[in-house]
Structure 1
Amino acid sequence: MTAIRVEDRDTWDTFIDESPSGFLFHKWDYLHLTANHTKSTLLPYAVYNGDEPLCVFPLFWKRMHGINAVFSPPPLTVIPHLGCVMNGKFGSLKRSKKESLLGLIAEEIRGELLDLSPNYLSIAFVPGFHDIRHYLWDRCDARVRYTYTIDLERPIEEIWNNLHYKLRSKLKKESKSGLRLERSGDISTLHMLISERYRDPSLDIPPIKRDYLEDLVRAYPEIGVYTLYDAEDEVAAVVAAQEYKRFLLWMGTPRIEGVHAGNEYLQWLLIERARAEGYRTFENMGANNPDLAFFKSKFNPDLTMYFEVEKKDGLGAFSEWAYRSFVKRLMMATGRV
């Protein structure tokens, strides 16, 4: 068993494309853009058993004010889960083989981390990666996190009938109001509305940086900005989505004041669109936010679990707070949002 740093973009992206658990967040250019905009060092590890890659494991290293931090993903990137991606054969293995391989992978990554000597370590694994025991045995703290998913392999009539009855009533009304949906790569309106919301001093983190979001959309046509317009060409709602293996409703704006239930109707149109285009899963981020959870629950999604692990020493105890606070002050002071 050997952990190496991957140097080849095609080798990495081919593995991500072929793994059922790979997200767009894991792709080579996405990772490098993230490293650049967070001023961190990307460590793209792969763990091999002989010539066969068992998993890839992107880590980000950053040193700030004498503190070494290792993240997967870094804060302030709107990446919900990252961590390791297992190869396509892993799911079919017997339990004893899975546990043996996971132990060896954890050991290899632990060896790499020893060289980095992080004061703070944070990893958010993808949904479906539930066996985090090796990290618990290594005295990491664990946190359960959630995301919403909708099974799109069901008939659309079944999905519709499972919506909250008040939501169905709103959607029927909006279907007759002349709203239209457009997809583009223009992030201007989306970012402006998000930035206005996050200027509220009660929020402890800034939004995604505009130049980072622009670079991501430029690099990946799988990222689309969906805007809902009313009959007078006024914006009723806008979101960003990622369309890679699953349809991921990635970022949305606060409700735009007006007569329309824009956010509700836009989300329903995207569910219909995703199903028509053959996606099996619609993921709707926001289940960890109490201000969003009840609204999103009206679509009757499944509550899907994933795990974050964290480990810190005395110096690292305040490092994430310091990182977030420092970056927020800098971004707000310079207008870099």
Structure 2
Amino acid sequence: MDGIEVRELLPSEYKEWNLLVEKAQPGTLFHTSEWLEICRDVLSKDLRIYGCFRNGELVGGCPLFVKNIKGVLKVASSTCKMTSYSGPLIKESASSRASKRIQETHEILNPLREFFCKQGFDSIHLTFAPGFEDIRPFTWNGWDSAVHYTHYLSLKENIDGNLSGGRQMELKTATGAGLKTRVSNDPETYYRLLSLAYEKKNLEPPLPGGFYDRVFKLIQKKSAGYMFVSETPEGEAVAAHINLYGKKCAVIWTSALNPDFDRLGSNALLYYNEFLDLRSRNFEYMNLMAANIPVFVDFIMGFSPELIPYYSVTLESKKYSAAKTLYKTTHKETY
């Protein structure tokens, strides 16, 4: 087997990277150069996409956001705000044998890991997309690992038979209030709802409105998703979901709700009608994305989804670990 060369991709090679994302499982919109560039620009981050080549063919890779902290610490992460995962990808194996697929995975991930270890990062954190299960090339070599969760809601199930009593009551309330759902392409509607929700908590939204404007344009350009809203009979939007298309699923990426209408069941109505809509278009499941946030878990469990793990790995230098410990101690004393 010929060796793997790992190097940073040139912007002129991003088209080739996006073709890999389309073919790789589990390549997602979060892995595409267009998405990563939006995050780079809005968050003022240093983006680098590293490619793994075999005989000149791109067969894997990983995007990283790199940051220098006060010129002392160099840290890297495959994720950022509003991007839960965007870690390593590898080309799909053509083999039907599990042992061969594992071998090919390790033949790509091992050189990638070794390359990252030579880049002088004081901390590097990689979060693998759900469906990427074999992280052993990292854990066998001293990287720490963590498990995260998402929820998959099968679109082949009988949703009415799986609803909890609480969700059934919310749907009845929403119907009684005359709420309707529809597709919308107006990012201002979403950002208004998001701002209202954060104002209720005396907080600023996690990202500026310009971020969502650019995401909407990307979604429309690539036909990669849509926004679903709940409206009052008067046409006022009271809740919204932005959904991104995956290979077999739709990812419920983010939601926003006018807190003045949180007792009308508008969020439950969105999930229910999204289920029916996506099933009619032959998607296999919905990725509900909220399993790591305790306040959302009870609500989501009312739809009887399946709990799905995904993984992250981290490697820290002694200098970074010492700085992190000092930071925690200092802030604890200050508090």
Shorter-chain TM range is 0.7 to 0.9
Tell me: CA distance 1:202–1:84, structure 2 relative to 1, closer, same or farther (3 Å): farther
Alignment of 1:133-172 (within 5 A): 133-152=136-155, 154=156, 158-172=158-172
CA distance in 2, matches of 1:249, 1:37: 22
Mapped contact 1:70–1:121 kept (Cα < 8 A): yes
1:239 partnered with 2:241:
yes
Mapped contact 2:62–2:87 kept (Cα < 8 A): yes
CA distance in 2, matches of 1:72, 1:273: 32
Mapped contact 1:183–1:225 kept (Cα < 8 A): yes
1:276 partnered with 2:280:
yes
Give, as a single letter, the amino acid of the residue that structure 1 aligns with 2:211: Y
Give, as a single letter, the amino acid of the residue that structure 1 aligns with 2:124: L
CA distance in 2, matches of 1:114, 1:198: 40
> What secondary structure, in the 3-state scheme, does the structure 2 residue paired with 1:129 have?
coil
Identity percentage of aligned residues: 22
CA distance in 1, matches of 2:324, 2:188: 32
Tell me: CA distance 1:321–1:262, structure 2 relative to 1, closer, same or farther (3 Å): farther
1:182 partnered with 2:186:
no
CA RMSD for the aligned pairs?
2.7
Q: Which residue of structure 1 aligns with residue 218 of structure 2?
A: 219
Q: Which residue of structure 2 aligns with residue 63 of structure 1?
A: 68
CA distance in 1, matches of 2:115, 2:42: 24
Tell me: CA distance 1:43–1:295, structure 2 relative to 1, closer, same or farther (3 Å): same
Tell me: CA distance 1:45–1:183, structure 2 relative to 1, closer, same or farther (3 Å): same
1:117 partnered with 2:127:
no
CA distance in 2, matches of 1:279, 1:300: 18
Alignment of 1:182-221 (within 5 A): 182-198=182-198, 207-221=206-220
1:2 partnered with 2:1:
no
Q: Which residue of structure 2 aligns with residue 80 of structure 1?
A: 84
Unaligned runs of 5+ in 2: 328-335
Residues 146-171 of structure 1: CA distance to partner in whole angstroms, max 9, x if unpaired? 0011122x15xx12211113322432
Mapped contact 1:256–1:262 kept (Cα < 8 A): no
Mapped contact 1:240–1:249 kept (Cα < 8 A): yes
Mapped contact 1:195–1:207 kept (Cα < 8 A): no
> What secondary structure, in the 3-state scheme, does the structure 2 residue paired with 1:236 have?
strand
Moved over 6 A (4+): 200-203, 319-322
CA distance in 1, matches of 2:233, 2:281: 26
CA distance in 2, matches of 1:149, 1:312: 32
Q: Which residue of structure 2 aligns with residue 335 of structure 1?
A: none
CA distance in 2, matches of 1:236, 1:198: 14
Q: Which residue of structure 1 aligns with residue 307 of structure 2?
A: 303
TM-score with structure 2 setting the length = 0.84
Mapped contact 1:242–1:250 kept (Cα < 8 A): yes
Aligned length: 315
TM-score with structure 1 setting the length = 0.84
Give, as a single letter, the amino acid of the residue that structure 2 aligns with 1:180: K
Give, as a single letter, the amino acid of the residue that structure 2 aligns with 1:234: E
Structure 1 residue 125 displacement after superposition = 0.3
Unaligned runs of 5+ in 1: 323-337
Mapped contact 2:61–2:112 kept (Cα < 8 A): no
